[in-house]
Amino acid sequence: MDINSIKGTGLTSQSSREKLIHELKGLGIKNPEVLNLISNMPRHLFLDTALANRAYENVSLPIGFKQTISQPYMVAKMTELLHETNSMNHVLEIGTGSGYQTSILSMLFKKVTTIERISTLHEQSKKKLNHLGFKNISFILGDGHLGFLNNAPYDAIIITAVADDLPETLVNQLSPTGRIVLPLMHKGEQKLTKLKNTKNGIIKKIIEDVVFVPMLKGVENT
């Protein structure tokens, strides 16, 4: 799928997009493919109309149900950490939310499985992404702690809510060389963390301090 074919891509100020990319580069984002996607993906379409004029600011914004759309820097950083090689084909996303991060993943992976626990957000993001023309996404309404065994194993897993502990179920759904990027509690603080599966077990690397909404269990029908 060509990024330029997505409906609504060119409807906002080019200067605001360029300013955002300049800021992301200054914050250390280096992957040109990720930067191109952040620049061209129509983030304004994943927000309420009242907030659309802030779509290309480097801030998180509310999407309802006590959830937020992550700031572009965090989307770029997590994506950059996740997508290291072209051999990774299938990604599992825990927390579909607005569908914005899902759209970025869809351009980089052959297949995306995304799980959302809030039924309204699940339906909204599914409808929006299908309308925009994305064809390689499986939408699941469910508890992210459980993953989705039917589509496993996954080359990569991204979790967009902070977990107290890493769900062992998700580790078991990784491919032998897969990796997970998530915010994880560490000594009472949220830390963006990368975990890589190896033949000798999981290797963990703490990246930086973050602030995310909590990873909750169960399904919320709204």
214 domain-assigned: no
8 domain-assigned: yes
218 domain-assigned: no
3-class SS of residue 93: strand
Annotated catalytic residue: which of 60, 70, 103, 106?
70
**Domain CATH code at residue 111:** 3.40.50.150
- What pLDDT does residue 85 have? 72
Q: Are 116 and 159 within 8 A, CB to CB? A: no
Q: Which domain holds residue 97?
A: 3-209
Mean pLDDT by 10 residues, the chain (222 residues): 62 82 97 95 94 94 94 97 84 97 96 98 97 96 97 97 91 94 95 94 95 92 86
- What pLDDT does residue 2 have? 65
Nearest of 60, 68, 58 to residue 27 by alpha carbon: 58
Which ranges constitute the DSSP H helices of the chain?
Answer: 14-26, 32-40, 72-82, 100-108, 119-132, 168-171
Q: Are 171 and 202 within 8 A, CB to CB? A: yes
What is the number of structural domains in the chain? 1
Nearest of 218, 180, 215 to residue 97 by alpha carbon: 215
Nearest of 21, 12, 59, 61 to residue 39 by alpha carbon: 21
- What pLDDT does residue 88 have? 82
- What pLDDT does residue 167 have? 83
Question: Would you call 138 a catalytic residue per the annotation?
Answer: no
